[in-house]
Chain A
């Protein structure tokens, strides 16, 4: 799928290094395929009628009236725009430039909008509600994905995200119920995540057990432990032990009144605001600080890192613990943010979707966050479309994140290359 073109070094006074340009046609081809899908599904098999979009919530500063779009025409226009974007991507590759991330994001948004227009022909879609639900569903995914990014960048495969989320959810519910203090629950959730991570790190780094085995077994262990304690301890004393106070939504003054963005992003619980900070902090720290450089070097080439004096295994141990804290924090969102009490196996595979987001996001915090948002959106879209009656069976919507990830790891969409020493123990 890729061609290599070399530009010879020019003989000028300045030394110009030889450059190798790799043209990857995967992105344009993927976008092209999606454009074709859009034309065929939304255009040729279009649905007549009008799609209504509600854009404003009653609290917004500026009220925007509902959008009424003729489904057929809108889909055609959007499909043409998609083809244009795919062509733009192809042109970028032709001139040996990269396909920028924003192009992919815009393409995805337009595709999703076209899909919505098509699927909800003759019905009303409340855009803010849809997006609020999407963000709410993606919060644990994003925390889990950030945890996964840190762990895998440092060279330890973290399959135990699911267990860390579940442990965080359980402990935060318990502690917050007992202390009546949700902040204490948050701290306890982090501790719980770190404890799970300690086991993972101890077995993976100290005893050199296969990291995937430890991760899988830890998930079972945490599911068993929380399930056992839930049935035996929490259920009989529901009001005392499993009745945590929930965080209130905090409306940020001016930002919260911006149409669409306001209610979606700036009228959230404190956990979500901390999530924004965490994303920024991880993205900055991983690529701009000494710690980040060391982390990545340990994950890519531990021998080299060791040679320059970085303590590989200690670095890995603490990074995995940090990852556990982040994932545990995300687990608290289940009990303190959205649901309000602990139930058995309430994470329901969110940890595995987070893992998918890590891979789909190519081990990059920002991309992984976007992948988490996309997966959360897909999940919420399914429930919204389930209400208005969608032409696509809901199961296929729910399948989407996983199918997309399989395509991603198979290298069909973009290139996904894990850190070189990911999953390999370092034996001095």
Chain B
């Protein structure tokens, strides 16, 4: 409804564009808006901008999460029974449950005031960064795919292959410190890249839709890695019947940067480097230019002489490699005592939401990864201290993405002004185009 209105507005008042330059003309053209001019336009620009929209989407999702928490709280349910005689009780119960949940979320993810000393207090932040590290890496991979108009849902498979390769190198070879880590890292990244590249290859050669192939490759990878994990002589720990690898050797483990007290490992700095690399790749390199061109309009890219199919292949290799890097972080940084088939921990799917929230821009993905890392770290402490299942984090995350994907909905909820009709038309055009491109 709202989008249709937008387009109607743009049709009816095409002269709205020069509104800022001359106030008199604008008054004549728009009798509805009494105080139009530079300032109102600026306010509108800010309020309808994507940053505000992201913040509003997050706020809205957190509110919905709060409603869920309050509604399922037993104290709230009890007090609701006598709401009309003593409404204060219920309101207090609601406040207690929601504020308790979100304060433990904060204390689990940023800073814990209850712990003595700064070093102990800041531990949750380090935890957040640890959770954020693979999220950002995988998010970058998915975002890179988005920029080229490809939808990489194969994060799980690519992570599993990356983890399997890195883990295999890490526990079965004896190499000097540093070199071992480097080779394990490269092996994991290469394996992820290959698995992603397979989907790209299928897309390039046969036109098979990458959404379907990556979903299917997820399962193929899962069962394949599971088979390797449960087969003696492959990945299984010797002398064990469990589908689990032996522990990683010390020479291949990502070093902890702030001493043994903190989980945060060197991977976080690698991921900063990776973010910079993706930024450089997309914005400063020829290859990245081609990626973006293919993403904007494959036909135009083809006309300009680019080999679109080859770009699909390359982009899936890069995308898979970055997701594979997330798998490497999991086995060499987070879980170094040997891994099983659940090592991906759902990060492959979370990465999609991270990339969407970050609007497929490298540093945006970085920020989104930090936020979701905080949700994850805080979610665990929320579960431990308040008994609120960590699944609430999934709900909030997916809500955020849904709201971000539909700005008119958020605008309607918060009664925000509509964006400049010209911009709206552009967005609609872009969205329309994107929808065609992704299929």
Q: Which positions 208-237 of chain A face chain B at CB distance < 8 Å? A: 208-214, 216-218, 220-221, 223-225, 227-233
Q: State how many angstroms separate the Cβ of A201 from the closest Cβ of chain B.
A: 13
In the complex where A224-B392, A393-B231 touch, is A409 in contact with B68 (Cβ < 8 A)? Answer: no
The residue on B at minimum CB distance from A227 is B391
In the complex where A209-B405, A395-B227, A411-B208 touch, is A423 in contact with B395 (Cβ < 8 A)? Answer: no
Instruction: Return the contact of B220 from the options A217, A228, A406, A424 (Cβ within 8 A).
Output: A406
Q: Is the CB of B68 within 8 A of A216?
A: no
A-B pair count, CB < 8 Å, reads: 158
Question: B371 within 8 Å of A by Cβ?
Answer: no
Distance, CA A133 to CA B428, complexed state (A): 49
Quick check: which of B9-17, B247-255, B327-335, B429-437 contacts chain A, the rest being far away?
B429-437
Per-residue interface assignment for chain B, residues 205 to 216, with 1 indicating a CB less than 8 Å from any chain A CB and 0 otherwise: 111110111011
In the complex where A216-B352, A220-B397, A425-B435 touch, is A409 in contact with B208 (Cβ < 8 A)? Answer: yes
Q: Is the CB of B398 within 8 A of A221?
A: yes
Question: A129 within 8 Å of B by Cβ?
Answer: no
Instruction: Return the contact of B402 from the options A157, A203, A399, A403 (Cβ within 8 A).
Output: A203
Q: Is the CB of A406 within 8 A of B216?
A: yes
Per-residue interface assignment for chain B, residues 383 to 416, with 1 indicating a CB less than 8 Å from any chain A CB and 0 otherwise: 0000011011111011101100110110000000
The residue on B at minimum CB distance from A412 is B206
Q: Which residues of B contact A356 (CB under 8 A)?
A: 212, 216
Instruction: Return the contact of A405 from the options B72, B216, B227 (Cβ within 8 A).
Output: B216
Distance, CA A214 to CA B393, complexed state (A): 18
Question: A398 within 8 Å of B by Cβ?
Answer: yes
Q: Which residues of A contact B436 (CB under 8 A)?
A: 424
Question: A114 within 8 Å of B by Cβ?
Answer: no
In the complex where A208-B432, A399-B220, A411-B207 touch, is A214 in contact with B405 (Cβ < 8 A)? Answer: yes
Q: Is the CB of B395 within 8 A of A224?
A: yes
Interface of B is mostly: helix
Distance, CA A157 to CA B210, complexed state (A): 14
Chain A contact patch, size range: 35 or more
Q: Which positions 6-63 of chain B face chain A at CB distance < 8 Å? A: none
Q: Is the CB of B405 within 8 A of A203?
A: yes
Q: State how many angstroms separate the Cβ of B418 from the closest Cβ of chain A.
A: 14
Q: Is the CB of A206 within 8 A of B215?
A: no
Instruction: Return the contact of A232 from the options B388, B397, B402, B406 (Cβ within 8 A).
Output: B388
Chain B contact patch, size range: 35 or more
Q: Which residues of B contact A207 (CB under 8 A)?
A: 3, 405-406, 408-409
Question: A352 within 8 Å of B by Cβ?
Answer: yes
Q: Is the CB of A228 within 8 A of B224?
A: no
Q: Is the CB of B227 within 8 A of A393?
A: yes
Q: Is the CB of B439 within 8 A of A224?
A: no
Q: Is the CB of A217 within 8 A of B402?
A: yes
The residue on B at minimum CB distance from A213 is B405
Q: Is the CB of A355 within 8 A of B432?
A: no
Distance, CA A207 to CA B412, complexed state (A): 12
Instruction: Return the contact of A221 from the options B205, B352, B395 (Cβ within 8 A).
Output: B395
Q: Is the CB of B213 within 8 A of A409?
A: yes
The residue on B at minimum CB distance from A352 is B215
Q: Is the CB of A214 within 8 A of B208?
A: no
Distance, CA A423 to CA B149, complexed state (A): 14
Q: Is the CB of B209 within 8 A of A409?
A: yes
List 22 A–B pairs whose Cβ atoms lie within 8 Å, in order of A's numbering: A157-B211, A159-B211, A203-B406, A210-B434, A213-B356, A216-B153, A216-B349, A217-B398, A217-B402, A224-B392, A224-B394, A224-B398, A352-B219, A395-B226, A398-B219, A399-B224, A402-B216, A406-B216, A409-B216, A410-B202, A422-B439, A423-B438
Closest 9 CB pairs between A and B?
Answer: A224-B394, A227-B391, A231-B389, A221-B398, A395-B227, A207-B406, A228-B391, A224-B395, A423-B439
